Structure 1
Amino acid sequence: MKHKPKYFYRIFLPFVLVGTLVMILFNGFAYFFTKNSFEEKVTLEKQENVVQTMNTVEQKLQTLDYTLNSYVHDHPFKGYIEQPLTAKNFDTYHSIDKQLNYMSSFGPSQTTIDLVSLQGNWIINKDGLQQLTKSKREEISEKYLSLQHSSTWLKDESNPNVLELVKLTPFYQSAKNGVLIVNIRMKSLTNLIYKHAESSPIYIYSQDGTLIYQSNKKEKDGMSEDVLTSIREGNLKQTGIIDVDQSGAENYKLAYSKSGYNGWVYVSKINNSEFTYAMKPTIIGTILMSIFMLTVTIIIAYISSDYFSKPIKELLNFVPKIQNNEYRDEFELIGSSIRQVIDKNQSLEHIVTNQHEQLKTLFMLNLFHGRMNETEIEEELQDFNYPQKWNYLYVLAIQFDSLEDNAYTRKDKDLLLFSINQIVSDIIREDEKLTPTVIDSTTQATIFICQNKNFEQHNLIINQYAEKIQKTVKEIFNLTISIGVSSPFERLTDCKQALKQGIEALKFRLKVGKESVIFYESVSAIFNSQQIKTYFPKIVENQLFDAIKLGESGKAKELLHQLFADLYKNNTNPHELEVSIMRFLNDLIGLMQVMGMETLIIENHKTIYNAISDMKTSEEIEMFVKNKIIYPMVDAIGERTDSQNKSISEKILAIIHNEYDTELSLEIIASRLHYNKNYLSSIFKKEFKQSFSEYLALYRYDMAKKWLLQTNMSVKEISERLQYKNSQNFIRSFRKIEGTTPGKYRDLHREDSFSFE
C-alpha cells in the first residue's frame, strides 16, 4: 500500500470511513436498543414483584381484618365483652380462646390475638385468662384508647419485631370497653414476601410514612421523606416506576405500589448495577462484533479501491499534461477538465430555459390578475405556442385541505404548492391546458381548455383529471387536496373572475368535506341567493354547556357532534355556516371566561378564531373543538366538581350522625349549607348510591335497635326521639324492616345477649 498513488487513497479512505461509521451506528443502535430492552425488562420484573408482594401480604391482612370485624359485630361478643370473667366461667373463656385461635389462623404464621375487656377487667392472651392489674389497665388505656380510629395498624418502636392491628369496641360509640390486639411477627411477613435480590430490597411504609418492614436489614437509609411524600400525596398512578435523583449519590429507579386497602406504600429500589450486570454479555458481544466488522471493512475497502482506481489511471492518459503544482491530485485535474465542459453547456441551456419559463409564469399571473387586454393576450399566445382556438375554458383552483396532521409545516407549503404545480403540468395534456401557476401561498391555478361544446363531457374529463391529481398528491406527499372548478368561459380576459369562482367554490368544503371536487355551477345558486337566514341550534348549545359544567364527557361529545351536524345541515350557504360557527366559538369562549378558565392560545401564538378560520373541513373543525377545548374543559370541571361534591357529602353525613334525633330534612340542611335542595340530593345520591331520606331512615333504624338492646327507653320514647309523629308509625316501620315489633325484638335479643351467663 505504500507505493499506491494518491487517487488510490482518495478512494480507499472514504470506503474505510463510511464502513467504520456504518459499523459504529449499527452496533451503537443495537447496543442502545438492547440496553433499553433489558432496562425495561428488569424494571417490569421489579414492578411485578412489588405488586405480587402487596397482593400476597394484603390478602392475609385483609382476610384477618374482615374476620375480626365480623367477630366484634357479633351479638355474643357484645355481651361477654362487658361482663367479668373468672375461672368459674371456664366454658366461656374456652369458647373465646378457641375463637381467637381460629381467627389468628387467617393471618400470617405465628399471629396471636389478645382480647381485653376494660369493663369486665380481664385479658385473654397466649398466657390464658388474667385479671387486669391497675398498671396493666393504665398501660392499655394510654397506649390504645387514645387512638383516633377504631381500627388501627401500629408499629411500636420499642418492639420492632411485631406489627399490631388494634380494634376498639364498640365501633360506633365514643366510650370503648374492649380492645382486640393482633400481634403479627415481622418474621412471618418475610415468609410471605417474594424473595428479592439483596441489591433491591422491599420496603413497606404506613400511610403516615412510618417504616413498617424492610426485607434487607443491611440497608440502613431506606427511602427519603421527599420520595415517599411524592408517592403518597402526588398525582401518581396506583402502581408505577419513578426516577430518583440524589445529589452526591448514585441515582436509581423506584418501583412502587400504593395499597387501596390501608394506604400502605410498597417500594423497591432498582439500582443501576442490576442493569449493568444484565447488559454484560451484550457489551462483550458488541465489542467482538465491532472488531470483526472493522476488519472485514478494511479488507473490502482495499480490494474495491484497487479495482475502481484502474479506470482513473486510464482516464489520465486523455488529460493534457500540466505542471504538478497546479493541482493537488489526479481527481482534481480530471474533475476540473470535465466541469469546464459541462458548465459551459449547462449555462447556455439554463439561460434559455429559465427565461422562457419565467415569461410564461409572468404571463399567467397577469391573466389571473386581469392586467392584460385582448391584443396583448393574442400576441403572448402566439409567442409561447399556446393553443389559440377553443370553445370553452375553465379555471381549476387547488388548495390543501390541511397540513396540521402531517409531518409538513407551514414553511413547507410553498415548496409543496410548486410540487403540485409540477404534478398538474405532468398529468394534464399540453393541448388541454395553459401553464399551471402558483397564485399565492394557498392556491395553485390552471386554465383548462375544452375543444368541444358538450358540457357533460367537460365535467367528465375535468373529474377524471381532478381525481388523478388528488390520487397522485396523496401517494407522494400523503396530503389531501380539494379542487374548485369555475363556470365555463370563452375569453381569457375573464380569468380573474373565473379564479375567484374556483376559490369561492372551495368554501363548500365546510359542507362536503375534504378531498372534494366542487363545480361552481352546482353551488352558484346558493352563493347568489338573496335569502340569507343563519340557523343556530341554541337549545343544543345550552344542553352542551350544561354537560360541560357537570363534567359529563360522553354526553358533551354527543351534543357537540349533534350541534355541528345541525349547523352543517341547516346552513346551506358556507358564509352562513361560518357565521354560526364563529357565534358558537364566541359563546364557548364566554363560557370559559365565566368558569375562570384561560382562553386557549394555539401554537404560533394564534387565537382560536385564527385557527378555525384556517381550517377547511367540518371534520377538522369538530375534532379541534372537541380535543382542544371541550375535553380539557370537561376534565378541569370534573376534577373541581368531584372535590367539591366530596366535601359537601361529608358535611351532610356529619349533620346526620350528630343530629339524627332532631327534626332533620334536606331542605333544612340546604338552607344551612346555602345550596339548592335538588343539587344536594343529586350529590348525596351520587356519593352514597342512595337518597338522603333512605340513609337517614336506616341510620335512625340502627340507632333504634341499639337503644332497644342497650337502654330501658320505652318504644314511645324511642319513636319520639327519632322524630316519628306517633309510636304506631315507628312500630309499623320497624316491623316492615325487621319482621317483628320493637318490644319483641328487645325481649328476644336481650335474652340472646345474656344467655351465656
Structure 2
Amino acid sequence: MSRWLWSYAVVLLIPILVMAATHLQTRRVLEGEILRANSALLSQLQQEIDNYIDFTYRLSEVINFNPKVTSTIRNQKDIGTTERMAIVQLLADFKAYNLTKDYVSSFYLYFPEGDFVLTGSSFYDTVLFYQQFIQSSGLSLEEWKKGLARAGRGTFSGIESLDAKGKTGIQYSQMLPIQQNSPSKATLVIELNEEQLVATLRNIQSYNEGHVYILDAANVLLASTEGEPAKKREFDFDGVAGERIQKTDAVWDGEPVVISYIESAKSNWKYAYVLPARIYSEKAEYVWNLALLMLAIAAALGFAIAVLLARRNYSPLKKLVNNVANRSELKSLKGSKVNEYDYLEEAIDSTLDRYHLMNRTLEKQNKTLRSNLLVKLLKGRIEQDFPMADVLPEYGIQLHSEEFAVVLFYLEDYSGFFRLDEQDEEKNREFVHLIMINIIEEMAGQKHQGWMTEIDEMLACIVNLKPGTPQEESVEHLKSLTEEAQRFIGERFHIRFTVSVSSMHRSAAELPVAYQESLDAMEYRMLFGDQTIIWHDRIKDQKPSYDYTMEKEQQLLNYVMAGDFPGAKQMLHDIIDRNLAQENISVDMIRCLMFDICSTMMKVAMESQLDPVELYSENLEAIRELMNGSTVASLRERMTLFLQKVCGFVEERKKNNKKIRLKENVIAYIEEHYRDTELSINMIAEHFHVHPSYLSRYFKEQVGDNLTEYLNRYRVEQSKVQLLQEEIYIRDISEKVGFHSISTYIRLFKKYEGVTPSAYREAKKYQVQLDLPRKQMR
C-alpha cells in the first residue's frame, strides 16, 4: 500500500514543480519588462541629450568660422577703434546665435592675450567677468584661467549632482581656432541649458523610483537625479558604443539594484538608470504567496483522496499475495520488509527458473540420448528387434528415404577463434562442436536432411538423401555441402577441419559400413594433408608397395655425410614425391615408407656423430607423429629440418678442421719467412689464397693478437738471442730479423720489453758477469 501512496505523492509533486517553474518564469518576465521599459526611457534620454550635443558642436563651429571672431583673435593684443567696431558687430551676431534657449543657456569667449571676455551680449574685462559670474563657484581667478587653458579640443565637464548648491550644469570648452595646425588663441565655453536638462532627467525618474546618471567617456559623473550621494559613487560602466547593457547583480548602499545603461555613439557618454530590485520583487512575491496557498489546499485534498484510492486498490492485491504465499515455497510476507510487488516478482521468477531449468535438463538429456542412438547406428550396435520406426521420431528424426551417406569431420585447428586468455581446452572444443553441428545440420537440411553426433574424437553427419535423387546429383550435393561448410566455417570462425565422405548406401542397416568407409577415407588425410575433402570412392583400389631401395638410401647418406644439404633435401623430396605420385598407394605403405626414412635419419645422425640425446628425441617425435596420424607434409618438413641440422653439423666440423690447419700453417709460414722485410698481411693472405681482411679477423679470433702484432713480437723475440752476441751491431740485428729501419726496431723492442736493445744487451752482459764467479765457486 505504501507504494501506491508514494506514487500518488509523486503525482502531487507535479503541480508543485510546475508552480515553482511558473514563479521563476513570472519573475523573469517582470524583470524583463522593467528592463525593456528602462531601456526605452534611456534611448529617449540618449536622443534628447544627443540633440544637446549636436547643437553645441554646431554652435562652436559657427563661432569658430565667424570672420569677426577670427579677426578679434588675431588682433586681441591691440584693440583699436576698428577692432571695437568689429566686436560690436560680433556681439550682434552672438545675439542671433543665442535666440533659442532650449539647448544652450549661455556662452562666452575668453581671450587670454587681450585679457577680456565676450559673452553673447557684452564685452567684459577678465577680472570683472570673473567677479560677476565665476567667483560664486568657489574657484580662484588663477584656477579658472588655468582651467580654460587646459580646455583642449572640445571637452564636456560638469558638477557631480544637479541638486548641489551654487552653479550647476554641464559646459563645453573648445580652444579656438579649431583647426588642428593652428595655435590656440582663445577659449570658447558653452553652458548647456540646465533647466531643460533637469526637466528631461526628472521625466525619466518620475516613471519609477530609480535614479538617472550621465557620465562621460572616462566614467566621470556629469549629471544625476540622486543628489549629493551621487558624488561618492564609483561608476564602472564599460559598455560598447550603441549597445544596451543591463546589470541585475549590483548592490548599492546594501540594497540590490538593477542597472540599465547605454552608451552614445556621438559623444561616448553613458546614460544609466538604477532601479531598486524590490520594485518588481514585491510583485513576484505576491504571485508566489498566492501560488503557495493554492498548492497547500491542493496537497491536502490530494492526500485525502490518495489514501482512499490506495485502500480501495490494495484489497485485491492483498488477496492475490496471500494466495501465492499459501502455495509458494517462498517464506511468508508477514514480518518481511519486502513489498507485495517484489514478493510476487520473486515468486514468478522462481517458478520460471524452475521451468527453464527443467526444459534445459530435458533438452540436454534428449540430445545425449539422440547422440548415443546415432553412435549406435553408426557402429552397428542396434539390436535386431529394436523399434527403430517408433523411436526415431521421438528424437526429431524423420527418414525421408532409404538412401544414406556418412560424412566425417576431423578438427585440425580452431585456436584463431578464441582469445589468448580463453585456455579451457574442453570448453573450447565443446563450443566449436556446437557451432559445427548447428551450421552443418542447417546446410544439410537445405536439400536433404542430416543429423550430427560426436564419435571417436570426430564429428559425424548422417545424411539422409532426398527420395528420387540420382546418384550423380546426390554426389554433387554432398560436394557442395562439404566445400561450403569448409569455406563458411573457416572464413567466419577460423576453424580448420578435414572431411571424408563415404559411398552411397541404400539402407539404414548399412550405416556401419558407410561409417567404416569414411574412417578409411580419413586415413588418407596423411597423404592429402589437412583442410581437404577425401572421397572413399576414389581410394578403393590400393597398391601394397612403395619405392625406396638400398641404393637410394645410400645416396641420401652420401649427401648428408658430405654436408650437402641442398642435395640431401632434393633426394628426400624425390623419394617422397615419387611414391605419392603412384596411383592408389595405400596409407599403410606410406607409413612404412616414412618409418624407413626415419630409420635412415637415425643412421645419418650416428654417422655424423650427432648428440645421441638430440638424435633420439628428434626421431621419437617423428614416430609419434606417424602414430598419431600426422600428414606427410608435416613429416616432410620435420625430416627436412633434421637433415639441415645434420648437414650443418657436418659442414661446421669441416670448417673447424680447416680453420685449425690454417692457423698452424700461418704460424709456420711466419717462423720461416720472418727475416723477409717485405713480409706482410697481404703477402701471407696471397700465399694461402684468402682475403687479407678475413685472414686478419680469423687470426685475431684464433690467436688473440692481430697478425701484425704477432709478427712484430716474434721478430723481437728472435732478436733477443742475437743481442747476446756483442760483435753484432744492433743495426745488423734489426735487418736480420726483418725490420726496415733501426728506429722501428728500437721503438717496438722498448714497447714489448720495456727497455731499448742496447740497455737489454748491457743488462744481460752484467748478469753474465755476476753469474761467472758463482759458477767458479761451485
What TM-score does the superposition give when structure 1 sets the normalisation length? 0.40
Q: Which gives a bigger RCO, structure 1 or 2 (Cα 8 Å, sep 6+)?
A: 1
What TM-score does the superposition give when structure 2 sets the normalisation length? 0.39
